[in-house]
């Protein structure tokens, strides 16, 4: 999509467009003021530090554990995921353990969560990563990984028959390290994560920011709703073109550092889950109501109604 979102810091250059296309472009691409972005981020993160729920996947930086939580949370309520997440990680504590297990065992452990394609994709991802290493997301092998290419055939056999776990760990060194130093067989970059089975744009951004503390944007249903209401009430998150604009807004709101982005992204999701919900807008307790365009419209309508009385 050709639209571009920029914070208003000074003069900007524009290409000549027809009045009709220019009007359409203005409608689709709201201009974001730098001071509003700063206030939004500062107040949002401060609110999160005071009000965040105590969720176990927020206490780890293990990329595998976070990936499992993100896939389970798709189309499933947090309260249901809590027990399943713990049990799944007890049964398959690492990507290697998951890769070595038959698909039937993985599906049995997933039973009760539904949407079994998530489990199949996760299992396929684990086997592909253990079998191919960095090639799984399109990187050429280099360094220590390249020196172990001769063992890929042996490794693939180990994965298929559920044996040789120690050999797998020895022959496929980690490709990255999480923010807390945890070795990872998953890449840190969102664009590389997206090349793996079952990982879309949101999940890639979530793993990148929550495990590796990278400065990565993410937009799920909750985040899309919050960003649309705050910055662009006329956008419809269900419309693909508008959803693309919401991704651009999400990127524009990110703080400068990856560590702050971890808090920021968690806070965005938390606000959508607890305050700015699909059914109720709790504007009276919302930490960003001062910069929210939907809240401003609501306040204006209320004032007009009072003046009429």
pLDDT at 12: 39
Cα–Cα distance between 186 and 175 in angstroms, integer?
7
The domain ranges of the chain are 29-53+215-302, 62-212
Nearest to 100 by CA among 123, 67, 132: 123
* Catalytic choice (39, 70, 155, 213): 70
pLDDT of residue 175: 87
**Contact of 96 with 169, CB cutoff 8 Å:** yes
Confidence at residue 142, expressed as pLDDT on a 0 to 100 scale: 52
- Quick one: what percent of the chain has pLDDT higher than 70? 75
Domain range 62-212, CATH class: mainly alpha
Find all residues with CB under 8 Å of 12, minimum gap 6, and list them.
Answer: 6
pLDDT, tens digit (0-9, with 9 covering 90-100), for 147-197: 333 333 333 334 444 444 444 444 567 889 999 998 899 999 999 999 999
Q: What is the pTM of this model?
A: 0.80
Task: Indicate the range of 21-30, 56-65, 85-94, 96-105 predicted with least confidence.
Answer: 21-30
CB 175 within 8 A of CB 183: no
d(CA 248, CA 242): 10
Does the annotation count 155 as an active-site position? Answer: no
| Residue range 105-117: mean pLDDT, rounded | 96
Out of 3-17, 91-105, 123-137, pick the least confident: 3-17
Name the band, by pLDDT with cuts 50, 70 and 90, for residue 22. very low
Judge whether residue 274 has pLDDT over 50.
Answer: yes
CATH topology of domain 29-53+215-302: Endonuclease Iii, domain 2 (1.10.1670)
Phi, psi of 243 (to 5 degrees): -65, -35
* Spatial separation of the C-alpha atoms in residues 125 and 48, rounded to whole Å: 32
Q: How confident is the model at residue 20 (pLDDT cuts 50, 70, 90)?
A: low
Whether residue 47 contacts residue 287, with contact meaning beta carbons closer than 8 Å, is answered with yes
213 pLDDT above the threshold of 80 = yes
Percent of the chain whose predicted confidence (pLDDT) is above 90: 70
pLDDT of 309 reads 52
């Amino acid at each position: 999509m050709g639209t571009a979102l920029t914070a208003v810091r000074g003069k900007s250059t524009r290409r000549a467009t027809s009045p009709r296309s220019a009007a359409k472009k203005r409608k689709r691409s709201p201009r974001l003021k730098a001071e509003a972005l700063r206030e939004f981020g500062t107040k949002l993160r401060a609110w999160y530090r005071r009000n965040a729920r105590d969720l176990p996947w927020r206490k780890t930086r293990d990329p595998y554990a976070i990936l499992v939580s993100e896939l389970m949370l798709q189309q499933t309520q947090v309260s249901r995921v809590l027990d399943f997440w713990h049990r799944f990680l007890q049964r398959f504590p690492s990507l290697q353990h998951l890769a070595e297990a038959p698909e039937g065992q993985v599906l049995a452990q997933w039973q009760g969560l539904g949407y079994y394609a998530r489990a199949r994709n996760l299992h396929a991802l684990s086997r592909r990563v253990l079998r191919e290493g960095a090639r799984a997301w399109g990187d050429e092998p280099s360094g220590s990984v390249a020196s172990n290419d001769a063992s890929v055939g042996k490794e693939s056999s180990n994965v298929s028959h559920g044996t040789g776990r120690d050999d797998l760990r020895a022959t496929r060194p980690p490709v990255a390290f999480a923010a807390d130093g945890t070795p990872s067989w998953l890449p840190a970059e969102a664009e590389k994560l997206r090349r793996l089975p079952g990982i879309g744009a949101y999940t890639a951004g979530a793993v990148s920011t929550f495990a590796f503390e990278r400065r990565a944007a993410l937009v799920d249903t909750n985040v899309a709703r919050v960003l649309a209401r705050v910055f662009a009430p006329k956008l419809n998150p269900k419309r693909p073109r508008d959803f693309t604009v919401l991704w651009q807004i999400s990127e524009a709101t990110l703080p400068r550092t990856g560590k702050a982005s971890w808090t920021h992204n968690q806070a965005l999701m938390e606000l959508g889950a607890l305050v700015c919900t699909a059914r109720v807008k709790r504007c009276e307790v919302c930490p960003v109501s001062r910069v929210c365009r939907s809240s401003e419209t609501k306040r204006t309508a209320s004032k007009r109604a009072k003046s009429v009385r």
